[in-house]
Amino acid sequence: MSTISLLEFKNVAMAYDGIIVFENFNLKLLNGETVGLTGPSGCGKSTVLRLAVDLVSPVSGEVLFKSQPVNEWEPTELRRRMVLVPQEASMFTGTVEDNLKWALDIHKMDYREGEFERVLKDVLLDIEYLGKVAANLSGGQKQRVAIARALLLKPDVLLLDEPTSALDMEATLAVEEAINNLIKVSDLSVLIVTHNKEQARRFTSRVIEME
Amino acid sequence: MMLQFDFNLLEFLNGLPWDRISETSWRYITALFLLAALILVSRWQGLGIGNKLVVGTIRGTIQILIMALFLVSIFALENLIIIFIVLTFMGVFAAHTVRSNLDHIPGAMSASLPGILIAGLSVMFISVLLGIIPVIGEYIIPMGGMVIGNSMTMSSLVIDRMWSNAQKQRSLIETALSLGANPTQANELTIREAIRAGLLPNLNRYASLGIVSIPGLMSGMIIGGEHPIVAAFYQVIVFIMIFLAATICGFIISRMFLRKMFNERYQLLVPPLQK
């Protein structure tokens, strides 16, 4: 892990409809690091991830990706290099393979032999899943396909928003195992938002708590 | 080309076919008895549409009579520029109607106006240029009205679908954006479905042409004394024009409306659905 900061929040304040969600928020995600972000419901944890990929803009302060303000990046390029996997893993129509292909197509990226197999393996799913209808998968499987779909874009940073909040115990363990495997096998920087402090600690030693 | 408005009211009134107008107005008055029966049924069944029917009939009759008088004067001028100005006016009114029907959606007028005008006018212009329809107001204005009217329906449908989809399927759109999709890519499925849905009623009519129903233009031409075979050809021609204009309109409007739904940072501006 290097000391180069990939993602940085500097005194960021966020408000919705004039109501302040948080102020003076600071965070640094270093290259190759995994950080957990926890806090009570409504404290703005998910908003931090949305700010990172410029889906919303802060009221004040700065969000930097590779030392450049996120709003100066071309939006599609920013979101390819730093992919957010939302809390509700939405699947597009068609099979798992269609979903993976769609992610490549929007960036005009070429498919390389064995690529789908590799990303599915990273999230502990086997190749048979490629032909399954994405909408029919269980919550935990959808979550893992959503992470695989993000990995396909070869991002520098992966942002995971409550990856197990809507899952039962068995599915939670499977997703946790997949994320742990991913952290081990890749050199990705990962920022995980979860309301569960214990879970955050299972993924990483550095946990930031929001109030 | 000089635009000349040499209008004489007395001459105009003398030129109207008063005997046929008088005969038809009696038929119209008789038809009002049917309307009265409908109002009675409405009251009896508690449908609550009686007042709307009365107001709609009065307003509709006045509007359409004014339109008819206006058409008589336009046809008499036989000026292509004026005919296209009339079509432009119809297009502006169509966009205004879209805005009125979708008053809860911001930007409906500015998105639909260019779509309706570009699609409607270009299809009419090309049809005239290629000699598909005769260069006379009696053909261009009614057929243009159908083309513009269908483009208007397409506009309402595309805008309404895109807006409601952005509210209901917010997470799907934001998932696509989070993967680096641009607004067009994030909405491509909705746009395609909306355009298909917009064409569907006419496609159904197209498929059942002459078997289930005799469509408006053909009926009108037959009632007006045209040979049914000639009327049949014009009906197919107008359907092709409608499909072309509505499809072009759908694509233009979807692109224009995306600019209202997203900002230049590709952030979704549509508010979430209020529960």
pLDDT in tens, B20-38: 999 999 999 999 999 999 9
Reported as a pLDDT band with limits 50, 70 and 90, residue A120 is very high
Query: Is the distance from CB of B234 to CB of B261 less than 8 angstroms?
Result: no
Q: What is the pLDDT of residues B100-139, one digit of tens each?
A: 999 999 999 999 999 999 999 999 999 999 999 998 888 9
Q: Does the pLDDT at position B4 exceed 70?
A: no
Closest residue in chain B to residue A99, using alpha carbons only: B176
Q: Which fold has domain A5-209?
A: Rossmann fold (3.40.50)
Whether A54 sits inside 8 A of B175 (CB atoms) is no
- Tell me which residue in B179, B189, B265 faces A106 most closely, judged by beta carbons: B179
At position A60, the amino acid (one-letter code) is S
Reported as a pLDDT band with limits 50, 70 and 90, residue B3 is low
| Chain B neighbors of A88, CB-CB under 8 A | 171
A77 Cβ under 8 Å from any chain B Cβ? yes
Distance from CA of B261 to the nearest CA of A (A): 13
Q: Which of residues 130-189 of B touch A (CB under 8 A)?
A: 169, 171-172, 174-182, 185, 189
- Tell me which residue in A71, A88, A153 faces B180 most closely, judged by beta carbons: A153
Whether B171 sits inside 8 A of A86 (CB atoms) is yes
* pLDDT score at A101: 95
Helix axes B50-77, B80-101, angle to 10 degrees: 160
A193 Cβ under 8 Å from any chain B Cβ? no
- Tell me which residue in B169, B180, B268 faces A107 most closely, judged by beta carbons: B180
Alpha-carbon distance of B62 to A37, in angstroms, equals: 67
Distance from CA of A181 to the nearest CA of B (A): 22
A153 Cβ under 8 Å from any chain B Cβ? yes
* pLDDT score at B138: 87
Domain chopping of chain A, boundaries = 5-209
Q: What is the mean pLDDT of residues B54-59?
A: 93
